[in-house]
Amino acid sequence: MAYRTKPLRPIQLIFSSSAFALLLLLTLGTVITLWLHADIGFQLLVSDWAIIKFTIFQALTSATISILIAIPAARALSRRKFKGRQVVLTLMGAPFILPTIVAILGILAVWGRSGYVSEFLQKIGNDPINIYGFYGVVLAHVFFNIPLATRLIVQGWTAIPVEQFRLAAQLGISTSGIGRHIERPMLRTVVPGAFLIIFLLCISSFAIALALGGGPKATTIELAIYQALRFDFNLAKASQLAMIQFSLCAILGSLAIFITKPINFIQGLDHEIERWDGNEIHHKIFDILVLLIVCLFLFLPLFSIIIRGAVPLFTLPALVWIAALNSIVVAVISAFLSVGMAISMSIFIIKMSYKLPIMSKAMEIISFLILASSPLVIGTGLFILTFPFISPFTIALPMTALVNAAMSLPFSLRMILPAMTNAENQYGRLADSLGMNDWARFNIAIWPRLRRPVGFSIGLAAALSMGDLGVITLFAPPDVATLPLVMYRMMSSYQLTGAAGVALLLVSLSIILFWIFDRGGRLEHKIR
Amino acid sequence: MNKFTTLAAGLILTLASPALAEKLPKLTVYTYDSFVSDWGPGPLIEKAFEATCACDLNLVGAGDGAALLTRLQLEGERSEADIALGLDTNLTAKATATGLFARHSTNTTNLDLPIDWADDIFIPYDWGYFAFVYDNTKVTNIPNSFEALINMPDDFKIVIQDPRSSTPGLGLLLWVKQAYGERASEIWSGLSPKILTVTAGWSEAYGMFTNGEADMVLSYTTSPAYHIIAENDLTKSAAKFEEGHYMQIEVAAKLASSNQPELADKFLDFMISDKFQSIIPTTNWMYPAVIPSEGLPVGFDKLITPSKSLIINSNEAQEVRDEALAEWLTELSR
């Protein structure tokens, strides 16, 4: 128990508390800033409640469906070995990082009035489909979030020690028995967190919900915030709506953490997963079908992005490549920042959980707040805070990197915290009893079990940062741009073809970044 | 980590910051993004003005027109901006009320606008009409009014923008209100089934239209000029409506807090000069506020000319806007 009672070292304390401070500043801090800056009060109207109800309802539906599809997809991916499995896993990250406008046009290329599906239906003599409306919103959100949900749940499967499956096989436990005794308890630890993340992502959606929702019926809280800030310059209303987003986050966050039932798998020897179950033919067919459908659903819109962008990609002007370089630098820095924060916060939360379990849970919830926060509120709040002291132009890129890092922190934390908790539970005491110093302890007992989630998190954070327009719009000086900003500028200057090329470049670079780090985390993954 | 951030920040700044300009007086103009982009008027205007002013013209993109005003309101009197360029007449009353803008000293008697101009703060630099744009190889039965549009076949669909987040969206709202007054609700209720969807910004809507998702898109009468001149594509046209077309007049003004008031006045004079005005049509794809000496570029002659110009007095715009928005939300949310 020596380690557990040992206080945090000052350096760890500084790291983790500045990470928490940053999160609080970007979330509650920016909202309070707006509130203090407002010169008029504000009361929510009846119409605002309709917006809140719609926002919650579509987010609940989207998150539920995403999870329901992701569970069988993740199971298929974790119990089948096939050529191209890794490619599928990597490409699956793509929808998630698409800039909204690219995603809208990609989804419509498949599901729109003149999309692939309608074209096919018309060829065989049917009417084209009309997806605009509630279904459109859910479809788009499911498209965005299945990949993330699947990856988070696959990670859960990967965490099950292979010994469990071997034991089950030796005991002759059936596939359904394995589901009941091994897989279901695992899902209970992973699914609530994944559900929460997706719910929050759907809450802060705005352009997608509107475009596919078919009109103002599909107004989300985020659009109301946009309207309050841009149309009415009503800072009080914007901050109040942002507080509602946070409250939703806090309520669902507590619920998710309450439902989550941590399991302790008996220590395994970290061999690569091998499965003896699910070999009946109907299991195989089911898995293949699930993967086929999910892949078609996810990759067809991507295919349309490739088709549209392939030709203009080769004629892009030089400034696009400069912007691409800016974006890559910002992405890599923010990814390492994000994961650094996630690791130090994980250490803090785990230590805390022994002494002050409630505080530790509260911190986990705080880390989710950023997902529920409005990028526009963050940007505006930061602008108000920094403007009196420093010209916004001089800090555009560092600010973007910092905000992007914070934005991807919840994902990194979701991957790293459970892995670290497990490693700590399984090897922590052993390491302590061997009298390892802090560095050896981390390097030998903990790190090998963190490599995969850390690699994945850096990759994801980098890719997310690439695709995010972020706060750069408010801070960008005339001659500094990121790739998404250039793409939006091209689109608003009729350069739609060129913009399609930039979109393809953006997606490709994001996937490459993701692949490099994710792969880096998996190299030599066999643990001593 | 702090050390790391500072280091990283420093590195990026060194990489990204432009060579320090020589000590010329600097005039900072806040404008919208598409104005400063490489495909917009910004780069040419900067070159032209800097050739005459012995100054450094600093064009800053701040989102769209509405975001521009928000930005100036947030910055208040400490703003670096000397000029705001890119508000339109729907925003000028609100902008005047902020007290951030100063009177101009420019002679505006030779403006070529369809309406009279008398504003002592804002000066127009270009203008256009909102219109529905369609593909003339696909649409043959062209609606010539909102009522004709309502009576189009069921599968005829348009894409519009949300007035709460987009300038053309707001333009359409005021267009219907100005043309139909009390009947505006009724028109929106009739249009509702024709509206495929509403997008947050112009780009999404225009992208959906060019991808063949909708038959018509809300844009400008001058949009086809882009396709004709820049792409040699004659397939895009704007539908002429009998009710007349709502105008957008884009304006600029000097900030009261400017520390370069004389240079700012010089820029505003330059803005309605032949040089600036001749750049506008084929970069901003709008009508110039003053017809340049060599006339409008070839291609503009193929555009429709509305029989009536509609515009709401900027002082009433705010009030009309709120009422019209409530009607719009009610009818389209059914």
Q: Report yes or no: A428 and A445 within 8 Å, Cβ to Cβ.
A: yes
DSSP state for residue B192 in the 8-state scheme: G
| Interface predicted TM-score (ipTM) of this complex, two decimals | 0.85
Half-sphere exposure of B11 (CA within 13 A, CB side): 11
* Contact by Cβ (8 Å): A110, A299: no
Give me the helix-helix angle, A281-309 and A46-79, nearest 10°: 120
Check if the beta carbon of residue A406 is closer than 8 Å to that of residue A382: no
Q: Which two tokens stand for residue A459?
A: 């990759």
Length, in residues, of chain B: 334
**All residues at 6 or more sequence positions from B70 whose CB lies less than 8 Å from its CB, including other chains:** A229, A230, A233, A380
Nearest to A24 by CA among A348, A312, A406, A314: A406
Cβ–Cβ gap A226/B165 under 8 Å: yes
Mean pLDDT, chain A, as a whole number? Answer: 84
Tokens for A440? 């050896």
For residues A107 and B66, which has the higher predicted lDDT (pLDDT)? Answer: A107
Of the segments A262-276, A316-330, B243-257, which one has the largest average pLDDT value? B243-257
Inspect the interface and report whether the beta carbons of B204 and A215 lie closer than 8 Å.
no
Q: What is the mean pLDDT of residues A128-152?
A: 90
Residue A217 with chain B: CB contacts under 8 Å: 332-333
Average pLDDT value for residue range B67-90: 90
Residues A41-68 have a mean pLDDT of: 87
User: How far apart are the C-alpha atoms of B276 and B252, rounded to whole Å?
Assistant: 13
Distance from the Cα of A479 to chain B's closest Cα (Å) equals: 8
- Tell me how close the Cα of A246 comes to any Cα of chain B, in angstroms: 23
Task: Check if the beta carbon of residue B218 is closer than 8 Å to that of residue B159.
Answer: yes
pLDDT more than 70, % of chain B:
93
Report pLDDT for B327: 93
**How big, in percent rounded to 5, are the helix, strand and coil portions of chain B?**
45, 20, 35
Q: Which of residues 193-222 of A touch B (CB under 8 A)?
A: 206-207, 210-217
| Confidence (pTM) | 0.87
DSSP B297: P
Tell me whether residues A104 and B329 touch, CB distance under 8 A: no
Identity of the residue in B58, B78, B164 whose CB atom sits nearest the CB atom of A227: B164
A14 contacts on B by Cβ (under 8 Å): 1
pLDDT in tens, A364-413: 888 888 888 888 888 888 888 888 888 877 888 888 888 888 888 888 88
With both helix axes pointing from N to C terminus, report the angle between A235-259 and A46-79 in degrees, rounded to the nearest 10. 40
Please state, in angstroms and rounded to a whole number, the distance separating the CA atoms of residues A340 and A336: 6
Provide mean pLDDT across the span A505-510: 92
Instruction: Give the Å distances, CA to CA, from A201 to A197, A216, A286, A374, A375.
Output: 6, 20, 30, 10, 12
Residues A225, A332: Cα–Cα separation, whole Å: 30
Kindly determine whether residue B212 and residue A398, on different chains, have CB atoms separated by under 8 Å.
no
pLDDT (0 to 100) of residue A209: 87
Which of B204, B284, B328 should be substituted to probe chain A, the one whose Cβ sees the most A Cβ atoms within 10 Å?
Answer: B204
What pLDDT, on a 0 to 100 scale, did the predictor assign at position B19? Answer: 46
- Tell me the chain A residues in contact with residue B226 when contact means C-beta distances shorter than 8 Å: 494
Of A477-481, B3-7, B99-103, highest mean pLDDT: B99-103
Tell me what pLDDT residue A6 has.
64
Looking from the CA of B121 toward its CB, the CA atoms found within 13 Å total 21
Question: Are the Cβ atoms of A478 and B36 closer than 8 angstroms?
Answer: yes
Q: Please give the Cα distance from A297 to A72 (Å, whole number).
A: 15
Which residue among A18, A211, A329 sits closest to B12, beta carbon to beta carbon? Answer: A329
Interface of A with B in 317-356 (CB under 8 A): 317, 319, 326, 329-330, 333, 337, 340-341
**Dihedral (CA of A110, A113, A119, A120) sign:** positive
Gap between the Cα atoms of A423 and A427, Å rounded = 6
Chains A and B form CB pairs within 8 A to the count of 178
Indicate the pLDDT class of residue A528, thresholds 50, 70 and 90: very low
d(CA B18, CA A262): 53
What residue of A is the nearest CA neighbor of B333? Answer: A217
Phi and psi (nearest 5°) for A85? -60, -40
Which range among A247-261, A429-443, A467-481, A485-499 has the greatest average pLDDT? Answer: A485-499
pLDDT band at A527 (very low <50, low <70, confident <90, very high): very low
Which of B198, B214, B285 is nearest residue A215 as measured by Cβ atoms? B198
Closest in A210, A391, A490 to B199, CB measured = A210
- Fill in the amino acid letter for A527: I
CA-based nearest residue in chain B for residue A234 = B70
Best to test chain B binding among A114, A204, A491 (most B CBs inside 10 Å)? A491
Residue ranges of domains in chain B, CATH in brackets: 23-127+248-301 (3.40.190.10), 128-247+305-332 (3.40.190.10)
Task: Say if the Cβ atoms of B213 and A18 lie within 8 Å.
Answer: no
pLDDT tops 80 at residue A259: no
Alpha-carbon distance A493 to nearest alpha carbon in chain B (angstroms): 6
- Cα–Cα nearest to A194, from A147, A244, A241: A147
User: How far, in Å, CA of B59 to CA of B75, rounded?
Assistant: 17
Name the more confident of A44 and A108: A108
pLDDT at B6: 44
Q: Which of residues 469-498 of A touch B (CB under 8 A)?
A: 473-474, 476-480, 488-496
The alpha-carbon gap from B239 to the nearest alpha carbon of chain A, in Å, equals 19
pLDDT in tens, A410-429: 888 888 888 888 888 878 77
Q: What is the pLDDT of residue B20?
A: 46
Concatenated DSSP letters of A143-164: HHHHHHHHHHHHHHHHTS-HHH
* Cα B145 to chain centroid, rounded: 23
Q: How many residues does chain A have?
A: 528
Cα B186 to Cα A302, B192, B240: the distances in Å are: 41, 10, 21
Quick check: A132 and B162 CB within 8 A? no
Neighbours of A410 (CB within 10 A): 24
Distance from CA of A198 to the nearest CA of B (A): 22
* Residue A92 phi, psi (nearest 5): -60, -20
- Write the burial class of residue B14 (CB in 10 Å: 0-12 exposed, 13-18 middle, 19+ buried): exposed
DSSP per-residue letters across A262-326: ---PPP---PPP---S--SHHHHHHHHHHHHHHHHHHHHHHHHHHHHHTTGGGG--HHHHHHHHH
Asked if A408 is an interface residue toward chain B (Cβ–Cβ < 8 A), one would say: no
Reported as a pLDDT band with limits 50, 70 and 90, residue A470 is low
Selecting from B9, B201, B207 the residue whose C-beta is nearest the C-beta of A105 gives B207
pLDDT for the residue numbered A257:
76
Give B64 to chain A, closest Cα distance, Å.
Answer: 10
Nearest CA in chain B to A207: B200
Residue located via tokens 């020897």:
A269
